[in-house]
Amino acid sequence: MNLVNNYSKVIAAINKWKNISPSRLSFHNKDCCLGAYCWFIAMDQSFVVDGNVLRGPTWIRERWNWGPSKWPLYWCQIERLDALDCGALNALAMEAFSRRGLKVFPAQLIQTFPLQNIQHWRKKWETKGQKPMWILDDLVYHEATAVIIKDNIIEIWDPTDNWWILRQPAWGYGATLAIRINGTDSNHLKWKNMDIYINQWTIL
């Protein structure tokens, strides 16, 4: 696969996913969702054991498996679910970081995986009666949380894999190829010495 091909594949993926908004959990405005939300926030606070609010909320992924979610998804539903998709996991992580007092932005990513992996994911979604709209050949749409570390410097927390995303130098297994960070009150951010302009896809 040559570089030109790779580039045009990423462009095609961006075109496919450019109108997707970052996932958000819905709220019933009733006791059911209020209770679930209060429980979630208290849970997260319990895990800030050493007072370091930058510690990734790994407990979320330890509690929920990764799998298809039916949208719209309400706060009161999450406690009954075994699995959440990357958007739902990220909506929770965003809320956790934000309630710890950190400034966060939803990050949308395009990543690449081998087709033999993708086939399993496709089937997993289809078995649950859902269309895997997040897959395009060997590229996938993914969501994560951009957290301001200081000034306009961000790190990106991946709540599905429970790690801070690295900026890998090359196209390869699991590599992040493009990123869009959504926001309203900043122009540009810095991620691993790279300028990221808000609401624009950046090919890495």
Partner 1 sequence: MNKIKKRKNSLVIYISGLYSGPNPSPGVGIARSLRQAYPHAILIGVDYSPRSSGIHWHDFDEIWLQRPWDELDLEEYAFQIQNLLDSGAFWISGLDLETIWLANTLSKHPNLLIPPKEALQQTAKPEIQAHRDLPVQLPPYLRVSAHPDDEIHEFCRKYGWKVWIKGPYYEAYRVQTWMEFKRMCALLSNTWATDDLFLQAHVVGYEESIAFCAYNGDLLDCIYMNKRDITPEGKTWAGQISDVPAEILAPLQRIVKRLRWTGGAELELIRELDGKLWLIEWNPRFPAWIYGATLTGHNLPALLVERASGISGKPTQGMAKQFARIVIEVPVRSGFPLAPLSEPAAHLFGSSTKHPSGMPVLASRLKQRRIQRRSSPKLTKSFSEYDMQMIFEEIQKHNFNNIDTPHRIFLENISSYLFKHSAEAIAGASARGVPAVIAYSVKTNPDIRFLKLALEHGFLAEVISKFEIKKALSAGFNAHKMVLNGPGKWWPSYLNIDAASSFYAIFCDSIDELERLINDSILVSNISVKFIGIRIRPPWISSRFGIEVDDPASFKKLIKLRKKIDNLCLFGLHFHIPSHHIGIERWMNLYKSIMGWAKAFEKASGIPVGCIDIGGGWFPKDWIQVMLPSLEELLNTASANLNNLNCLILEPGRALVQSSMALVVRILEVRKSGSNIKEIVVDGSIAELPDIHNYPHRVIYRSKSGDFALIGRGECRVLGRTCMEDDVLFDNLELPSITQADDFLIICDSGAYDRSMSYEFGK
Residues that bind partner 1 (CB under 8 A): 31, 34-36, 38-39, 41-43, 45-52, 54-55, 59, 79, 149-150, 155, 164, 169
Beta bridge partners of residue 105, listed in sequence order: 146
Residue closer to partner 1 by CB (options 3, 49) is 49
| Residue 193 burial by Cβ neighbours in a 10 Å radius (0-12, 13-18, 19+) | exposed
Pairing of strands 83-84, 65-66: parallel
Q: Are 141 and 166 in contact (CB under 8 A)?
A: no
Residue 129 or 169: which CB sits closer to partner 1? 169
Find the shortest distance in angstroms from Cβ 43 to partner 1: 6
| Pick 2 or 46: Cβ nearer partner 1 | 46
Q: How far is the CB of 103 from partner 1 (least distance, A)?
A: 14
Nearer residue to partner 1 within complex by CB, 75 or 125: 75
User: Could you tell me the smallest distance in angstroms from the CB atom of residue 59 to partner 1?
Assistant: 7
Closest CB 49 distance from partner 1, rounded Å: 6
